[in-house]
């Protein structure tokens, strides 16, 4: 993996929350902006980037459905996860005052998450394609002191904008979970003091109670399932596939037995990756005993 370019790809405009996540997780790598998720994944698949930082779900907006349709089309592996708290900032050109702002531009989700504060200030929300793009557009029109943008602190840095108000979102706790994709698989060493996550994709067989039976092995062997998502695997709407996150390492005895049952009752089983829990999961209020 070290012979690959020191680049981590992400979807979006420089200053996006995906870009911020790249900086925090891999500050030593060059973050490369891509137009689409598929473009970012292809950079890794073709050896033009070492990793891709791809959002999987958000605590407010839910899952990023496009990713579940793209992943089966690649041979990439999940080698880690990253949790990024979303801290929206109210940005404006240098010299602007918050009392002068009459309108604010951002992605519709960001506008919704800041609705209360926007209403309190009595400013008009304007929908944009993305948060960082709104900041970039604002930077090329610095004379418009009545317009602001909602974006990340990194966007303020990159586009030389002032942060008029930090933590502009109505509620704290909004967090995005990213997965880190690589071309080569990496099975970490099993260590007793490390908590592991294993991500699996599979399709159930067309038999009664197939999903119940496929997942039964995790329950009977005491393996904790943390996430189960379903999605249509084809355009015919006849085959349903699943993404499953479980706490465990494939080398653990309990996981071996659980995976054996999954293999028996499911098909097209693919272990996407095994990786340590992100520190976000290890906070006192996140630990599940």
Active site residues: 176, 178
Which two structure tokens, joined as six digits, stand for 117? 């504060």
Q: Which two tokens stand for residue 177?
A: 């979970």
- Written as six digits, the tokens of 19 are 């870009």
Distance CA 10, CA 3 (A): 20
What is d(CA 269, CA 263) in angstroms, rounded to the nearest whole number? Answer: 7
Q: Is the dihedral of CA 182, 187, 188, 193 positive or negative?
A: positive
- Phi and psi torsions of 103, nearest 5°: -150, 155
Closest by alpha carbon to 244, among 261, 143, 235?
261
User: What is the residue-wise DSSP string for 54-113?
Assistant: EEEEETTTEE-HHHHHHGGGS--EEEEEEEEE---EEEE-TT--GGG--EEEE-HHHHHH
Burial class of residue 112 in the structure, from the number of CB atoms within 10 Å of its CB (0-12 exposed, 13-18 middle, 19+ buried): middle
Which distant-in-sequence residues (6+ apart) come within 8 Å of 108 by Cβ? 127
Cβ–Cβ under 8 Å, residues 151 and 111: no
Cα atoms in the 13 Å half-sphere on the side-chain side of 35: 0
Neighbours of 285 (CB within 10 A): 4
Q: How many C-beta neighbours within 10 Å does residue 184 have? A: 12
């Amino acid at each position: 993996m070290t012979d690959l370019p020191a680049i981590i790809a992400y979807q979006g405009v420089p200053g996006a929350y995906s870009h911020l996540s790249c900086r925090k997780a891999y500050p030593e790598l060059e973050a490369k902006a891509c137009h689409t998720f598929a473009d970012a994944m292809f950079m890794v698949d073709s050896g033009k980037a070492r990793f891709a930082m791809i959002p999987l779900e958000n605590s407010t907006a839910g899952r990023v459905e496009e990713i579940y349709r793209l992943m089966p089309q690649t041979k990439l592996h999940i080698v880690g996860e990253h949790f990024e708290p979303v801290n929206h900032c109210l940005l404006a050109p240098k010299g602007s005052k918050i009392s002068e702002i009459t309108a604010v531009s951002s992605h519709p989700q960001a506008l919704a998450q800041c609705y209360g504060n926007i209403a309190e200030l009595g400013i008009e929300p304007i929908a944009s394609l993305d948060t960082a793009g709104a900041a970039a557009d604002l930077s090329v029109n610095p004379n418009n002191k009545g317009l602001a943008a909602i974006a990340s602190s990194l966007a303020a840095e990159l586009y030389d904008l002032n942060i008029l108000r930090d933590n502009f979102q109505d509620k704290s706790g909004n967090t995005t979970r990213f997965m880190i994709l690589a071309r080569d698989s990496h099975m970490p060493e099993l260590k007793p003091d490390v908590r592991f996550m294993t991500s699996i994709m599979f399709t159930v067989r067309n038999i009664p109670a197939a999903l119940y039976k496929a997942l039964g092995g995790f329950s009977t062997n005491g393996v904790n399932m943390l996430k189960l998502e379903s999605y249509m695997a084809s355009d015919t709407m006849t085959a349903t596939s699943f993404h499953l996150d479980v706490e465990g390492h494939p080398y653990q005895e309990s996981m071996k037995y659980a995976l054996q049952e999954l293999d028996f009752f499911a098909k097209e089983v693919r272990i996407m990756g095994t990786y340590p829990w992100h520190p976000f999961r290890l906070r006192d209020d996140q630990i599940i005993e």
